[in-house]
Structure 1
Amino acid sequence: MDDEELLGIDIGPLTFSFSELKSATNDFNPANKLGEGGFGPVYKGTLNDGRVIAVKQLSAASHQGKNQFVTEIATISAVQHNNLVDLYGFCVEGDKRLLVYEYLENNSLDQALFGKRSLNLDWSTRFDICLGVARGLTYLHEESRVRIVHRDVKASNILLDSNLIPKISDFGLAKLYDDKKTHISTRVAGTIGYLAPEYAMCGHLTEKSDVFAFGVVALETVSGRPNSDPSLDEAKVYLLEWAWYLHETKREVELVDSRISNFNEEEVKRVIAIAFLCTQASPLLRPSMSRVVGMLSGDIEVATVTSKPGYLTDWKFDDISGINSMTIDMSTKGTDSSVYNSSASTTVVGDTSQSPAKATQPLIYSTVSNGR
């Protein structure tokens, strides 16, 4: 895609010069680096008007990254919601591609939950975070001018503002599709641990893939732990598996983060039950995000969960450098935590035209086709 084509997009947000962003970030000083995003580093900066910004710098070598960059501009500029990160503008100069976002001072949800824990998130805050994320996804799926599947919903892509209001970020992997298409067969792109089975295995993409990931995020928010943690006892390694066991033995409240001293038991059980509905193996059994909002708000009754969540427990790659060849192992033993652990935010991209042929028997607790 050349610059003329890129500049021809009806963007909406402001165009920034590279020198302006270079100055704002103090020449992209490493001290201002906030982290590594989906397609390059992110820096904190201050504009001449005093606005504090987050600048995403596209890795110039990545052709795919350029496509993601264009997708992100087109997507973010089309949507405005209290639970989505605001895009201030962008920069295109030569081979330089940058996005300029509002800066959110409380960083990401994964840092608040699994990091050094400088934030003390009480139960009501966590409940509000779940509700806010659900509202943001509802907007993307059902209320936006175009239907948008985020494709990479995870705790590290949920940012918290000064009032701890959650805002969904990183639309670099977002795919737009019109209402005539029931699903998109696409290259699998997402983060291990949050991937819906039908998407990971077959590239079958609908908004129900985001619903699955939301269910995982909700359980992480309740428990204060990532979806996979090999350092724990074997029975507790996989969050969905452990949560289901506690549900079956009517001990759901034991899932609550031990740092929370007071919580509403009814709300906790409601969030956990909704998370199980969201992570059903069959996408047809998962609720829409607007129903999730209704259930969280108490306006819609939460259906009784009878079948355990469906998920993949172990991933192995024939060739990590060209992740096209993807195999899925049935065994839950010996998981490579560096590949699986959600807090490492490993993103997978696989060519689904090849992966089903290479897949060994996948472990999903329910067959996707019959939804049981």
Structure 2
Amino acid sequence: GVAFKIFSHEELQEATNRFNEQQILGQGGHGTVYKGLLKGNMEVAVKRCMTINEHQKKEFGKEMLILSQINHKNIVKLLGCCLEVEVPMLVYEFIPNGTLFDLIHGNHGQQISLATRLQIAHESAEALTYLHSCASPPILHGDIKSSNILLDRNLIAKVSDFGASILAPTDESQFVTLVQGTCGYLDPEYMQLCQLTDKSDVYSFGVVLVELLTCQKAFNLNAPEHEKSLSMRFLNAMKNNKLADILDDQIKNSENMPFLEEIAELAAQCLEMSGVNRPSMKHIADNLDRLRKVMQHPWAEQNSEELESLLGESSMVSSRYTSTGNFSIERKGVMELDSGR
């Protein structure tokens, strides 16, 4: 890996053409991100905070501390920072293909296959599993949404924007004074109790899964009151056995249906009102991985033992989340896939 580097202000000014407006990649609650070109033609993204108050300084410092210690293929890499200025600037690897939000909601006319959606979901889940289970101390992202999942040239997912993240509190009594996050993705339990937990990220990830299934935005201000929230509409559709009505037409067909039902079931578990009833990110990542494998190998129908092991294990996982029909794709689903090729 590349060593963490301290950049001079001059270096970053030069790289971004003096923070030219044309270099702006995006603006978020935590600052403006510019595209930069370092000497040696290395493309980077430079995050610069605009207004300065103590709270934002802390946010930036926190993001720097958290990300400088992370090394995972599905998490955007922090290359270094600049400390000469009033507010530190952060320098990241440049991810060229925009965000998952752009891919899902942009008018680019390109078809996004279920396999690609499943891959992006699985990789994002792996990143969150790493943060929750492998980082020490564990890291809670705090603002998972489709616009914080970047995509590289090969559409590999990279989770970004750790401005709202916290190191998991060791003391249960630690409450968040300011609930951060994004409308449509916010865990209702977190809003009520002001305690950010790993299950808050799980809830937000569930919303991203529903976005991938439906191609609809997480929150629609113009919709009637009861239809504003995508998660509520989705849960209603599931409850009334009308999943097909809400799915994206691009991926809705008889071959995909068994997979779509499984992913929808997983999303519904993530969106449980009470955090303790939601699965862990590891459970979600494992199940998405298993689904991907079955999708890639429809021939497994001929080898029923292997198929059983791919599909059956999750129902034996010693977990309370072996909920209704989890991974109940019958061979029928695999045969349908087979004949559809």
TM-score by length of 2: 0.80
Per-residue deviation at 1:291?
Answer: 0.7
Paired residue secondary structure (2:36): strand
Paired residue secondary structure (1:101): strand
In structure 2, do the counterparts of structure 1 residues 213 and 261 end up closer, same or farther at CA, with 3 Å as the change threshold? closer
Per-residue deviation at 1:268?
Answer: 1.1
Report if aligned partners of 2:184, 2:229 keep a CA contact under 8 Å in 1.
no
In structure 2, do the counterparts of structure 1 residues 62 and 15 end up closer, same or farther at CA, with 3 Å as the change threshold? same
Higher relative contact order (CA closer than 8 Å, sequence separation 6+): 1
Cα distance in 2 for residues equivalent to 1:131 and 1:47: 32
Counterpart position of 1:217: 208
Alignment match of 2:156 (pick from 165, 168, 172): 165
Counterpart position of 2:329: none
Alignment match of 2:5 (pick from 4, 9, 14): 14
Q: In angstroms, what is the RMSD of aligned CA positions?
A: 2.1
Alignment match of 2:314 (pick from 297, 300, 305): 300
How many residue pairs get aligned? The number is 294
Report if aligned partners of 1:83, 1:166 keep a CA contact under 8 Å in 2.
yes
In structure 2, do the counterparts of structure 1 residues 129 and 142 end up closer, same or farther at CA, with 3 Å as the change threshold? same
Aligned residue identity for 1:185:
F
Report if aligned partners of 1:108, 1:160 keep a CA contact under 8 Å in 2.
yes
In structure 2, do the counterparts of structure 1 residues 77 and 265 end up closer, same or farther at CA, with 3 Å as the change threshold? same
Report if aligned partners of 1:151, 1:174 keep a CA contact under 8 Å in 2.
yes
Cα distance in 1 for residues equivalent to 2:111 and 2:17: 31
C-alpha distance after superposition, 1:228-258 (max 9, x if no partner): 2244577644322222232233332332223
Counterpart position of 1:321: none
Aligned residue identity for 2:129:
T
Counterpart position of 1:275: 267
Structure with more strand by fraction: 1
Unaligned runs of 5+ in 2: 291-312, 316-321, 326-341
The answer as to 2:113 corresponding to 1:143 is no
Aligned residue identity for 1:284:
V
Cα distance in 2 for residues equivalent to 1:77 and 1:199: 27
Paired residue secondary structure (1:185): coil
Report if aligned partners of 1:59, 1:65 keep a CA contact under 8 Å in 2.
no
Cα distance in 2 for residues equivalent to 1:110 and 1:126: 12
The answer as to 2:240 corresponding to 1:252 is no
Cα distance in 1 for residues equivalent to 2:212 and 2:60: 29
C-alpha distance after superposition, 1:7-66 (max 9, x if no partner): xxxxx6111111111111111111111110232111011111111111100124232111
Q: Which moved more, 1:221-230 or 1:205-214?
A: 221-230
Counterpart position of 1:121: 112
Alignment match of 1:98 (pick from 61, 80, 89): 89
Cα distance in 2 for residues equivalent to 1:99 and 1:51: 15
Aligned residue identity for 2:15:
A
Per-residue deviation at 1:224?
Answer: 0.8
In structure 2, do the counterparts of structure 1 residues 192 and 175 end up closer, same or farther at CA, with 3 Å as the change threshold? same
Paired residue secondary structure (2:22): helix
The answer as to 2:54 corresponding to 1:63 is yes
C-alpha distance after superposition, 1:266-292 (max 9, x if no partner): 221111111111111111101110011
Cα distance in 1 for residues equivalent to 2:57 and 2:87: 10
Counterpart position of 1:312: none
Cα distance in 2 for residues equivalent to 1:238 and 1:141: 27
